[in-house]
């Protein structure tokens, strides 16, 4: 049987060093996903012929000169994407640490963030209850019958007085 109780917790401080470590990993993973997603997206676009179709359309409406290839330098595009994701990673990590510092300053004034947590504790059956069930134990009054391997364990009964 488990009991649940409500507990009030207040977050008063976020350690900036911990925020730096955690946010650095999180934003690095997201930056890597952004680069890989961009590579996959560009590969799909190129296989579908969309960059060439866009170039042809721009030449047709005279935005570009004949023979211009604006999407030909894919390598430079990927360099810019990788550089941009590294800049984004550093910027977001710094913003997260700055946010933790600002939170610490504000929580000193207003008291922090209050959370209500439900704590669940399990109430294990004590060994004495297994060996000696309650005195109102009787198989038929809703009590659970002991397993066959524990059927011969003595229960708590009224003491027998031996008179001789």
Residue with the larger pLDDT of the pair 101 and 158: 101
Report the pLDDT averaged over residues 96-107.
96
One DSSP character per residue, 60-98 reads: HTTSS-TT--TT--HHHHHHHHHHHHHHHHHHHHHHHHH
CB distance 112 to 22 below 8 Å: no
What pLDDT digit, counting tens, does each position of 67-89 carry? 777 777 788 888 989 999 999 99
pTM of the model: 0.60
Backbone angles phi, psi at 132, to 5 degrees: -130, 90
Given a cut of 50, whether residue 149 has pLDDT beyond it is yes
Q: Please list, in sequence order, all residues whose beta carbon lies within 8 angstroms of the beta carbon of residue 120, skipping any fewer than 6 positions away.
A: 2, 3, 4
């Amino acid at each position: 049987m488990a009991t649940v109780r409500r507990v009030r917790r207040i977050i008063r401080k976020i350690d900036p060093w911990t925020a730096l470590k955690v946010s650095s990993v999180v934003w690095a993973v997201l930056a890597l996903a952004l680069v890989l997603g961009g590579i996959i997206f560009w590969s799909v676009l190129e296989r579908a012929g969309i960059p060439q179709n866009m170039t042809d359309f721009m030449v047709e409406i005279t935005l570009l000169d004949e023979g211009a290839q604006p999407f030909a330098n894919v390598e430079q595009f990927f360099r810019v994407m990788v550089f941009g994701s590294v800049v984004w990673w550093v910027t977001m990590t710094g913003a997260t640490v700055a946010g933790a510092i600002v939170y610490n300053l504000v929580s000193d004034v207003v008291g922090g963030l209050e959370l209500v947590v439900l704590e669940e504790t399990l109430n294990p059956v004590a060994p004495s209850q297994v060996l000696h069930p309650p005195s109102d134990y009787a198989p038929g009054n809703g009590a659970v019958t002991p397993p066959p391997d524990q059927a011969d364990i003595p229960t708590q009964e009224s003491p027998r007085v031996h008179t001789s």
